Amino acid sequence: QQQQQHRQGAVGEAPRFVRQPRPSASVSEGAAVRIDCRVAPLNDSSMQAEWCKDGLPLNAGSRLNTTFERGYVSLDILHTYPEDSGEYSCVVRSSFGMDQSNPMSLTVVAEEGVVTDTQLPEQSMVANIDRLDERLSARSTRQDYDDRIPQSAPQFVRQIDSAVVAENSSVRFETRVTPAADSNIQVEWYKNGVPVTLGSRIRAVYDRGYTALEMIYCYPEDSGLYCCLATNKHGSAQSNTAQLSCSGSAGVVTASALPASSVMNIQRLEEYGEEFRPMDADLRRADPPRFLAPLSPAQLQVPEAAAPAAFSARADPGNGNRVQAHWFCDGVLVQFGSRITAGFELGLAWLKFAYVNSEDSGTYCAVLESEHGQAQSTAAQLVCQPGGTGVVTSSQLPGNAEHSIRSLMQLEEEMATGRAAMPGADAQQQPPPVIVRGLVQPPELKEGERLGLQLQIEPARDGNLSVDWLKDGQAVTLGSRVHTDCERGLAWLQIGHCYAEDSGQYWAVVRNRSGAVESNRVAVLCHASESVVTRTQLPGGAQGFQRLEDLERQWREAPIGPEEFQFREFVEPQSQPHFDIMPESVTVCEGYPAKFLVKLSGFPRPRVAWYLNEQMIASVSPWILSYR
């Protein structure tokens, strides 16, 4: 409450400094310095603070930062120069008055590395000193910034030293250029006359006359002659040339970094011991394979094609690397496949049948073979019992089975003897064609539906048989919509989609070398679809079509004289523009297109202009005007 009363009482007071800046400070060139003080009252929003140097206001920038917050006022100089030396004071203003702090004297000590000795010949040294005295005496008066910029071409005052380094070592080329206060100087480094490409490995530094080229690590290809070029608006200057020699190091390191005793110990550890020495060839035993048990079962009886069967025997493969198992039936090698499989795994030789046929009966034995020898098992007997439901020998054809089987056997004999390949051999024996099953009356169709007509004829295997399809006494025209075919005694006609003009009577004529026969006739009726548009699409209904009919009628009735056959160029008479079709009103949603259509006549060709609310419309977006 006391603080709140104090603040309320401070409202309306003139600003005053509660704490003054320190009297003086001395820093080295490049160091940072802070000047601060405190003012009251704290809650006056109209209060403003301003810093002055030697009685002149200071402008804040990237190097000078000012702070004023809740009575705390500070000036930060991030990087000091000798010309920053002087007296600094703070002026605080508000709506109720102003106050100025005590001055603070700041001294910036210049770096010792700055070259102060003149580099000019002795005869001009006195004149240079006089000009320098005039410049120092003129600093007491305030001048514009442009007057303080040196008006001379750059000049290098320090030589660049050459360097000899090893690969991956750092190197730095340094030099100084005057005038140091000229902010317009541009510095660029060259290697063998080509500008140096700067990056993360190579960097260039320039600060108030000091310039350097730094290489964090060098490569042999960096060797060469380096120089620096400084340029401003008054001219340019080039430094001396320095040579960089970078010697490359060895690529792949092949020499061991370990002492000789350690290398010998490692070699001894890598040598084979007695337990790892390979056995001599004469000490290895050649163990051939052998059977440990007889073939099981000794005798096996299985119904034909009713159940699986299997033989197996335990065996020792020996120490051979390539062990193979072979099975024999009555001394003949068994052929394996999808029904009969065999194998030798984990000391067990086996033979399996998915199902047994009568020809599988016999005596079986197994033979194991490796590079050290072979072994034969005992014999086992397989007996296949014939089954009562094996192969179906009775005819499955309907009707007279004996007659059908004899017909099939006769056809097979004809195909075997090749009689069908002899020209004219079957012409005398083939009977005339007979229609076994005639055409079926189709139902009434709608336009677009499919139509299929089919008949069955004999002899079915007559290669000289031909079928012709007729419609109303005319041959049916075949195409992509109409297909016919005749195969194995079946002849058919297919129409993919019917039209009304497909209606009529259809029948087929079958011919071979022995005669011809005609099928029964069927009537096909196809109704036209109502979806077909028969109304005129011309503007104004059928008036244009009726006009054409009237003109054709006049041409037919009017006599044609000789002069009508002579060529005469048509000359259209001139006429005023006339709108044949007027535009109609339309109602559309926002964003949708709207179209106005008119038709006009007149000669010469009229020019057309569109108007919107008595304002002519230009042919630009969103308007599209066309006239044909």
Give Cα separations from 257 to 254, 262, 284 (angstroms).
9, 10, 44
Nearest CA to 247 out of 230, 268, 222 is that of: 222
For residue range 422-458, list pLDDT tens digits in order. 444 444 567 889 998 899 999 999 888 999 999 998 8
Give the residue range(s) of CATH 2.60.40.10 domains in the chain.
2-109, 155-247, 292-385, 434-527
Nearest CA to 226 out of 194, 258, 272, 187 is that of: 194
Q: What is the pLDDT of residue 601?
A: 87
Which CATH number fits the domain 292-385, given the four candidates 3.40.50.12160, 3.30.70.20, 2.60.40.10, 2.170.140.10?
2.60.40.10
Cis previous bond, 622, omega within 30: yes
| Residue 24 CB-density burial (10 A; 0-12 exposed, 13-18 middle, 19+ buried) | exposed
3-state per-residue secondary structure call for 88-138: EEEEEEECCEEEECCCEEEEEECCCCCCCCCCCCHHHHHHHHHHHHHHHHH
Q: Which residues contact 339 (CB under 8 A, 6 or more apart)?
A: 353, 354, 355
- Give the C-alpha separation, 477 to 465, whole Å: 20
Nearest CA to 624 out of 589, 583, 593 is that of: 593
- Give the C-alpha separation, 210 to 187, whole Å: 10
- Give the C-alpha separation, 336 to 380, whole Å: 18
CATH superfamily of 434-527: Immunoglobulins (2.60.40.10)
User: Which parts of the chain register pLDDT below 50?
Assistant: 1-10, 140-146, 281-283, 419-427
Which region, left, alpha or beta, applies to residue 360 given φ > 0 means left and ψ of -120 to 50 means alpha? alpha
Q: What is the pLDDT of residue 246?
A: 92
Q: What is the pLDDT of residue 425?
A: 45
- Here the tokens at position 110 are 């210049």
- Give the C-alpha separation, 285 to 320, whole Å: 10
Query: 24-28 and 104-109: which strand pairing?
Result: parallel
Q: What is the pLDDT of residue 53?
A: 92
Is pTM, for the whole model, over 0.85? no
Q: What is the pLDDT of residue 209?
A: 86
For residue range 389-403, list pLDDT tens digits in order. 555 555 566 655 666
Which region, left, alpha or beta, applies to residue 180 given φ > 0 means left and ψ of -120 to 50 means alpha? alpha
**Architecture of domain 155-247 in this structure:** Sandwich (2.60)
Which CATH number fits the domain 2-109, given the four candidates 3.40.1390.10, 3.40.640.10, 2.60.40.10, 2.40.370.10?
2.60.40.10
Give Cα separations from 333 to 325, 327, 362, 480 (angstroms).
11, 6, 12, 60
Q: What is the pLDDT of residue 448?
A: 87
One-letter amino acid identity for 615?
Q
- Give the C-alpha separation, 463 to 429, whole Å: 13
Give Cα separations from 12 to 9, 45, 124 (angstroms).
8, 11, 65
